[in-house]
Amino acid sequence: MKDTVSQPVIEAKGLNLVFQTADGPVQALKDVNLTINQGDFVSFIGPSGCGKTTFLRCIAALEHPTGGTLIVNGMTPDEARQKRAYGYVFQAAGLYPWRTIAGNIRLPLEIMGFPKAEQDQRIERVLELVELKGFGKKFPWQLSGGMQQRASIARALAFDADILLMDEPFGALDEIVRDRLNEEVLKLWARTGKTIGFVTHSIPEAVYLSTKIVVMSPRPGRITDVIDSPLPKERPLDIRDSREFIEIAHRVREGLRAGHHDD
Amino acid sequence: MTALWLAITVWLAAWALNVRLAGSGIAQTRLGRILVPLIFGVTVLVLWEGLVRGLNVAPVILPAPSAIAAKIATSLPVLWQDFAQTILKGAIPGFLIGAGAAFLTAIAVDRSPFLQRGLLPIGNFVAALPIVGLAPILVMWFGFDWQSKAAVVVVMVFFPLLVNIVAGLQASDRMQRDLMATWGASYWQSLLKLRLPAAMPFVFNGLKIASTLALIGAIVAEFFGSPVYGMGFRISTEVGRLGLDMVWAEIAVAALAGSVLYGLISLIERWVTFWHPSQRH
């Protein structure tokens, strides 16, 4: 499976999701078609209510589509979840306060039944990967918000799933911390070669990080544009001042605006 | 009258001392945190003693603290026997059985939406039954000895605990449960590693409420039939014989036992839920 670089990992065809609410049915996703290949860094961008988070949750089998097909690693999302095909990072770190940082990272490993020695080894490795070496014995509430979020990324990386799903992971952090973590995520992606799905509502963040930008619009949630980024894989922070970067950002902004005019 | 004036002088002096202590840096130290309430407690006793002596209050209305202390000193074997009967055999086993049953029921309720909708309303109904109605029935069922007292305690602590534990099991937030789902955790893994730890602040709230209910239940149940010892039995018979000093002695024992039980639960709580914002110092 892994010998070809552009193997599709996630394939959505005609995906629909209707929520039944007290005010009647709400179409959260309408006719979504998307293919994500092995090693892609895909950003989902759009205003709130456009279904970007819902789509990510569908991939993770936390929501269940009401129509269309969705294949993850050649399986249904539920099977992929049982096979622990992905790590999920939420908007808040969601660390368990009664466990240390190392204890939190150990949690998925315990659940998946890794032997004790390997757990320690993996915790050591991912703490280093997110630059939290030496903080393993601290409790979550003793760390800053940015460090907590790094710990939650470490936790999602610990069991080495091929897919990393991130739902506005840096949305609650200030811009300086956010820039730094964006750089780190890119490095991480380069080092691990994982497929990453990344939800954001920041245009610069989406353009800076992604190989593929999916622009979505609300009511009903749908894809309005898919942009393959021509930016090189190596991206220093100042690439954001380059002409290409600004052009892509412009196209994303146009896509978002077009989606809004449709209402 | 001198006793009264003396008591009032001591009271005012201790008051002034405490105001100064509480305002100074000593209040922040470990010593100060013990000293201030201690001075306050001693002042209350001195004032009580002075009022009773100075105003010649009848011992039946209110015995002096010194009289109560003397009574405690001379009736230690009786007090111990009553304590063993009511607290060690009635309240504590009842508390433990009730807590264990509530715990198992809470998990059953958690697993079954039918029980959640069916059992909890009935639970509220039973919890609303007055203990004075329930106790005589349970004494009929389980006999005069401690078994019926333990049964009353079980009934009294069961539902407050059940409601708290069930609420506690819902206390983990959705994101944390979603995380468990993304790791493919089973029901029991998610219960043990997430929902039970997250429920602990609620559980301990319930245990603290239940600990005071257990004492009340065990003592009051003895009013409806008991062997010729036990704290409730002693209180009701000594009231009849106007032996109010003995009643007060039993009350002192009950207050002490209740405080120790409560303190013990708080101590375990601090150890188990150290991570909760209310426990971080």
pLDDT at residue A238 greater than cutoff 90: no
Report CA-CA distances (Å) from B77 to A110, B64, B72, B92. 54, 22, 10, 20
Which residues does chain A have within 8 Å of residue B279's beta carbon, measured at their own beta carbons?
Answer: none
Whether A212 and A111 map to the same domain: the answer is no
Which of A142, A160, A178 delimits the end of a domain? Answer: A160
- Is B223 a domain residue? yes
Whether B131 and B233 map to the same domain: the answer is yes
Per-residue pLDDT, A5? 52
DSSP letter at B276?
S
pLDDT at residue B187 greater than cutoff 80: yes
Whether B46 and B120 map to the same domain: the answer is no
Whether A108 and A70 map to the same domain: the answer is no
Which of B32, B57, B82 delimits the end of a domain? Answer: B57
Report the relative pairing of strands A8-21 and A24-37 from DSSP bridges: antiparallel
- Is B63 a domain residue? no
**Tokens 């995520």 sit on residue:** A185
φ, ψ of residue A60 to 5 degrees: the values are -85, 5
Whether B184 and A81 lie within 8 Å, measured CB to CB: yes
Whether A108 and A227 map to the same domain: the answer is no
Which residues does chain B have within 8 Å of residue A63's beta carbon, measured at their own beta carbons?
Answer: none
Other beta carbons within 10 Å of A214: 26
- Is A76 a domain residue? yes
Whether B242 and B104 map to the same domain: the answer is yes
Radius of gyration of chain A (CA): 18
Whether A123 and A235 map to the same domain: the answer is no
- Is A2 a domain residue? no
Whether the model pTM is above 0.95? no
- The share of chain A scoring above pLDDT 70, in percent, equals 96
Residue B207 token pair: 């245990």
Residue A182 token pair: 């964006």
Which residues does chain A have within 8 Å of residue B179's beta carbon, measured at their own beta carbons?
Answer: 88, 90, 94
Q: Minimal Cα distance from B191: which residue of A?
A: A111
ipTM score above 0.85: no
Kindly report, residue by residue over B110-158, the tens digit of the pLDDT.
888 888 888 878 877 877 788 888 888 888 899 888 888 899 999 889 9
Q: What is the rounded distance in angstroms from the CA atom of residue B12 to the CA atom of residue B23?
A: 17
Whether B9 and B122 map to the same domain: the answer is no
Per-residue pLDDT, A4? 46
- Is B62 a domain residue? no
- Is A1 a domain residue? no
- Assess contact for A39 and A191: CB atoms under 8 A: no
Whether A141 and B180 lie within 8 Å, measured CB to CB: no
CATH code for the domain of A79: 3.40.50.300
Kindly report, residue by residue over A118-133, the tens digit of the pLDDT.
889 889 888 887 788 8
Whether A181 and A69 map to the same domain: the answer is yes
Whether A56 and A168 map to the same domain: the answer is yes
pLDDT at residue A170 greater than cutoff 50: yes
Chain B residues contacting A via beta carbons under 8 Å = 173, 175-176, 178-185, 189, 193-194, 197-198, 273-276, 280
Helix-helix angle B131-142:B196-221, to 10 degrees: 80
**Residue A3 pLDDT class (50, 70, 90 cuts):** very low
pLDDT at residue A1 greater than cutoff 50: no
Whether B39 and B127 map to the same domain: the answer is no
Report the relative pairing of strands A163-167 and A195-200 from DSSP bridges: parallel
Whether A215 and A125 map to the same domain: the answer is no
Q: Minimal Cα distance from A108: which residue of B?
A: B183
- Domain hosting B28: range is 2-57
Whether A94 and B193 lie within 8 Å, measured CB to CB: no
Per-residue pLDDT, B258? 92
Q: What is the rounded distance in angstroms from the CA atom of residue B281 to the CA atom of residue B270?
A: 11
Whether B143 and B249 map to the same domain: the answer is yes
φ, ψ of residue A30 to 5 degrees: the values are -130, 120
Whether A241 and A251 map to the same domain: the answer is yes
**Residue B98 pLDDT class (50, 70, 90 cuts):** very high
Give the closest residue to A204 by CA, choosing from A185, A178, A228: A178
Q: What is the rounded distance in angstroms from the CA atom of residue B71 to the CA atom of residue B246?
A: 7
From the list B173, B183, B276, the residue facing A111 with the nearest CB is B183
Whether A87 and B182 lie within 8 Å, measured CB to CB: yes
Q: Which of B172, B174, B183 is the best substitution to test chain A (most A C-beta atoms within 10 A)?
A: B183
Which residues does chain A have within 8 Å of residue B271's beta carbon, measured at their own beta carbons?
Answer: none
Report CA-CA distances (Å) from A38 to A88, A228, B229, B272. 17, 14, 79, 45
**Residue B100 pLDDT class (50, 70, 90 cuts):** very high
Whether B176 and A97 lie within 8 Å, measured CB to CB: no
Domain count, chain A: 2
**Residue A107 pLDDT class (50, 70, 90 cuts):** very high
Per-residue pLDDT, A144? 87
Residue B260 token pair: 């120790």
pLDDT at residue B91 greater than cutoff 80: yes
Whether B178 and A88 lie within 8 Å, measured CB to CB: yes
Whether B214 and B81 map to the same domain: the answer is yes
Per-residue pLDDT, B254? 92
Which residues does chain A have within 8 Å of residue B180's beta carbon, measured at their own beta carbons?
Answer: 111
Whether B81 and B50 map to the same domain: the answer is no
pLDDT at residue A262 greater than cutoff 70: no
Whether A150 and A167 map to the same domain: the answer is no
Q: How far is B5 from chain A (nearest CA, A)?
A: 55
Whether B170 and B236 map to the same domain: the answer is yes
- Assess contact for B82 and B250: CB atoms under 8 A: yes
Q: Minimal Cα distance from B189: which residue of A?
A: A111
**Residue A7 pLDDT class (50, 70, 90 cuts):** confident
**Residue A6 pLDDT class (50, 70, 90 cuts):** low
- Domain hosting A133: range is 93-160
Q: Quick one: average pLDDT of B250-264? A: 92
> Which regions of A22-107 does DSSP assign to beta strands (E)?
24-37, 41-45, 67-72, 86-89
Whether A28 and A112 map to the same domain: the answer is no
Kindly report, residue by residue over B206-221, the tens digit of the pLDDT.
999 999 989 998 999 8
Whether B245 and B209 map to the same domain: the answer is yes
Burial class (CB within 10 angstroms; exposed 0-12, middle 13-18, buried 19+) of A97: middle
Which residues does chain B have within 8 Å of residue A110's beta carbon, measured at their own beta carbons?
Answer: 193
pLDDT at residue B222 greater than cutoff 70: yes
Per-residue pLDDT, A260? 65
Whether B189 and A88 lie within 8 Å, measured CB to CB: no
**Residue B4 pLDDT class (50, 70, 90 cuts):** confident
Per-residue pLDDT, B130? 82
Which of A160, A187, A204 delimits the end of a domain? Answer: A160
Per-residue pLDDT, B255? 92
Give the closest residue to A97 by CA, choosing from B276, B173, B168, B281: B276
Which residues does chain A have within 8 Å of residue B280's beta carbon, measured at their own beta carbons?
Answer: 141
Which of A160, A193, A215 delimits the end of a domain? Answer: A160
Q: What is the rounded distance in angstroms from the CA atom of residue A211 to the CA atom of residue A213?
A: 7
Radius of gyration of chain B (CA): 24
Q: Which of A63-72, A253-262, B162-171 has the lowest mean pLDDT?
A: A253-262
Q: What is the mean pLDDT of chain A?
A: 83
Report CA-CA distances (Å) from B101 to A124, B97, B120, B268. 42, 6, 14, 20
Which residues does chain A have within 8 Å of residue B269's beta carbon, measured at their own beta carbons?
Answer: none
Whether A77 and A17 map to the same domain: the answer is yes
Per-residue pLDDT, A2? 44
**Tokens 């983990």 sit on residue:** B172
Helix-helix angle B231-240:B196-221, to 10 degrees: 30
Domain count, chain B: 2
* Distinct helix (H) and strand (E) counts, chain B: 13, 0
Residue B8 token pair: 């009032």
Q: Quick one: average pLDDT of B194-199? A: 91
pLDDT at residue A104 greater than cutoff 90: yes
Q: What is the rounded distance in angstroms from the CA atom of residue B149 to the CA atom of residue B145?
A: 7
- The share of chain A scoring above pLDDT 90, in percent, equals 6
Report the relative pairing of strands A8-21 and A67-72 from DSSP bridges: antiparallel
Which residues does chain A have within 8 Å of residue B198's beta carbon, measured at their own beta carbons?
Answer: 96
Whether B87 and B121 map to the same domain: the answer is yes
Chain A residues contacting B via beta carbons under 8 Å = 60-62, 81-84, 86-88, 90, 92, 94, 96-98, 107-108, 110-112, 139, 141, 159
pLDDT at residue B31 greater than cutoff 90: no
- Is B77 a domain residue? yes
Kindly report, residue by residue over B42-57, the tens digit of the pLDDT.
899 988 998 888 888 8
